[in-house]
Every structure is written in C-alpha cells, then in structure tokens.
Amino acid sequence: MCGRARCTLRHDDIHRACHLTGRPLRSVDTNRDLTVVRRDDGSGGDGAVLQCMKWGLIPSFTKKTEKPDHYKMFNARSKSICEKASFRRLVPNNRCLVAVEGFYEWKKDGSKKQPYYVHFKDGRPLVFAALYDSWKNSEEEILYTFTIVTTSSSPALEWLHG
C-alpha cells in the first residue's frame, strides 16, 4: 500500500465496520490523524478504544532526539512481522484495526506515475489489520503511530500492484 488513504468515517461507522456492536467502546484523542480501533486494556478484554494515530510507525525505542520518518514503516509485510524487531514485539498486544473509505495506489508507466483510488463500489469501508506503538519525543510528548499489515495483492488488483 502507498501510505495515503481517505477517511471521513464517523465513529459509529468505524464501530460497525469493525464488527464491535454490543461491545464497550470508548474514545481517546480523536481529533486528528486516522482513527484506529484497539483493545481496551482496562476492560478485561471485551472493550475497544477508538484512538487517533499517525500512519507510519515510530518504534518506541527510537531515540528522543531523532527526527522520525513516518514513511519508513507505513507498511509491515505479514510474512516477516515476526522476524523484524520493530514489529515482532508488537504482535502479542499492540494489534489494531484501521477503517478507511479507500486508499491510493500508484502505477508506474515509464517515468510517469498514475494514481488510482481503490475502494468498494458500494461504499463499504475497508478494514486493515495494523500494529501500533507509542514514542516519546524530547519534549516528553507521546505520539501514537501505526503500520498497516500487508499481504500479496488480491487477483483483482494485480494489474495495479504487480
């Protein structure tokens, strides 16, 4: 995936898209970036939290003085997440879901790149598996970030991604 998506979904749309109806749900810091759904650690395992996070993982072990690059880790390949230190430690407890209306993928044609918007024709949200982490900068501000877990392209999109 390219790292760009469209999301104007309301919280109740995200709640339904992630099949959380009937489960306790609370919201945290939902005023910017993309809203993710993560487990609510304080609810005994049943509840969920809607929380805005920045797309592009900054591992918690990144030095406070570093200027983070969100585009380095906006995707994590599913076949290697258990091998890479940045992702492996997140798999047990830092999984989340990201619901969007669609995403952009670019197809190269020589030196030109053509953007394509990928979405369901009926308007249903796309829901992606993701991993998240938190990082504290030199001002002691905590930034929550995530990376999308990717697999091989579906046959319908091989023409675009292949």
Which of 78, 90, 18, 3 is closest to 49 using CA atoms?
Answer: 18
Domains along the sequence of the chain with CATH: 5-161 (3.90.1680.10)
* pLDDT of amino acid 31: 66
Cα separation of 25 and 11, whole Å? 10
Ramachandran category for residue 98: left, alpha or beta (phi over 0 → left; psi -120 to 50 → alpha): beta
Strands 75-77 and 142-150: parallel
* Sign of the Cα pseudo-torsion (55, 52, 22, 47, in order): positive
Which of 139, 36, 127, 32 is closest to 90 using CA atoms?
Answer: 36
Note if the pTM is more than 0.95: no
Summarised one tens digit per residue, pLDDT across range 12-62 is 778 778 887 777 777 777 666 888 999 887 666 678 888 989 999 999 998
* pLDDT of amino acid 123: 86
Cα separation of 137 and 109, whole Å? 40
